A and B are shown apart, each in its own frame.
Chain A
Amino acid sequence: MENETGGDVKNLWQNQQAEPIQISLAELHQKAQKLEQRVRWRNLGEYAASAIVIACFGFYIWKFPAPMIRFGCMLVIAGVLFVVYQLHKKGAARTVPAEMAFRTCLDFHRQQLERQRDLLRGVWTWYLLPFVPGIAVFLIGLFRWTMTLPHAPAHARVIIITFALTAAACALVFFAIGKLNQWAAQKLQREIDALNEMEKES
């Protein structure tokens, strides 16, 4: 009876009305090109954003005379270049389609999820931390330079509060980005655990 049902259902499945899909080789070539183009545009967007930040801090180096501010700007620019390099490196490690065939379905998905999880978990070291020294030195330098201005002593309290708030806002943004990424990594970890559980069950 079991075999009979199995056979009937297989028959039903295999003889269902097919939805024909005709993709010519030319269309495939075109689709692959479009996909590459999309990736290229996304990368270009990232590079353009980095170029704007570098241009801004380059302008500050020229504009501000204080050596500490200039040093802070150089550190920020170095941080941007480091992050761009990391983005480029991590982007290049994307899955090659042939990898889908080299790995079994179970392995492939675990690997995909683990890669994303590690990227999110490491966001502090490769995305946030590189900016911290530059921004800190820049803000301290800017504060010291502001305090040397002729009218500064009269407005010392306002200046101190403004800089304290700016520093706090920067710290808050960094903390929020780090925390959001950590949550996303935890969510992925739960999915990985579920896959491992599935493997054990099977």
Chain B
Amino acid sequence: MNLDSIPEAASRQDQLYQEAAASYGTALGRLARGYEADPDRRRDLLQEIHLALWQSLAGFDARCSLRTWLYRVAHNVATSHVIREHRLNSRTMVGIEALETLPAKNDERDRDSSRESNIDRRHALAKLLLLIHQLKPLDRQIMLSYLEDMDAASIAEITGISPGNVATKIHRIKNVLTTKFHQGEDHGK
């Protein structure tokens, strides 16, 4: 292929995409996992995210960082997917506040697994994903961004929720995680 024939804008778009995919490709895989449990549909969702990201980068004007740009596109595509699936399956989604009050499931399994080993990573990850998949889109965006180690200001920039409210949500997320993930240990002691 003759590279000289590619218009400058298109080559910039490709270059930006490659940069984004190299830096955040794995994070996008995790993000898709937070939105879709079925492996085949998850692969489709991830491809849809990559395609939307590449297409969107034709209009990248550096009004925000590449990271914010990428996460906005990814969350918007993934949330559209969740809403579409939700409309088909009528699955109930709840806010993070509701999870604070929900009783923990699989208590027996938690106790047994924590007796055997404190770090049953696969089981813990499955439990975490179960929590995430119950969340409404906005709360899910905050939870996933928190798990990616973003601060409140960055999360606010992506989601459009005020930093103060994001901080409150994060506090609640931490409470939920403490309740759900330390319960097993406490029982075991």
Chain A residues close to B by CB (< 8 Å) = 1-3, 5-6, 8-10, 12-14, 16, 18-21, 23, 25, 28, 31-32, 35, 96-98, 100-109, 112, 191, 198-199, 201-202
Contact = CB atoms under 8 A, between A and B. Distances in A.
A97 B50 contact: no
B177 interface: yes
Contacts of A101: 56, 59-60, 64, 68-70, 72-73
B41 interface: no
A27 B186 CA distance: 50
A49 to B, nearest CB: 26
Q: Is the interface of A mostly helix, strand, loop or mixed?
A: helix
Interface in B48-69: 50-60, 63-64, 68-69
A32 B48 CA distance: 10
B149 interface: yes
B28 to A, nearest CB: 8
B187 to A, nearest CB: 15
Interface string B35-50: 0000100110011001
B174 A5 contact: yes
A117 B21 CA distance: 35
B26 A8 contact: no
B177 A98 contact: no
Contacts of B70: 101
Contact of A13 (B30, B50, B77, B136): B30
Contact of B76 (A2, A105, A202): A105
Contacts of A103: 72, 76, 160
B68 to A, nearest CB: 8
Nearest to A34: B51
A148 to B, nearest CB: 54
Interface string B9-38: 000001001100100011011100100000
B79 interface: yes
A35 B54 CA distance: 14
A98 B138 contact: no
Interface of B: 14, 17-18, 21, 25-26, 28-30, 33, 39, 42-43, 46-47, 50-60, 63-64, 68-70, 72-73, 75-77, 79-80, 83, 95, 97, 121, 124-125, 128, 136-138, 141, 146-149, 157-162, 165, 169, 174-175, 177-178, 181-182
Most buried by A among B68, B79, B136, B138: B138
B159 A96 contact: no
A9 B55 contact: no
Q: Is the interface of B mostly helix, strand, loop or mixed?
A: helix
A8 B81 CA distance: 29
A12 B165 contact: no
B76 A109 contact: yes
Contact of A105 (B69, B137, B169, B174): B137
Given A13-B30, A21-B25, A32-B55, A1 B76 contact: no
A21 B181 contact: no
B30 A14 contact: yes
B177 A6 contact: yes
A138 to B, nearest CB: 39
Contacts of A19: 29, 33, 39, 42-43, 46
Contacts of A105: 72, 75-76, 79, 137-138, 141, 158-160
A107 B75 CA distance: 12
12 contacts: A1-B178, A12-B124, A14-B149, A19-B42, A20-B29, A21-B46, A23-B21, A97-B53, A103-B160, A105-B158, A106-B159, A109-B80
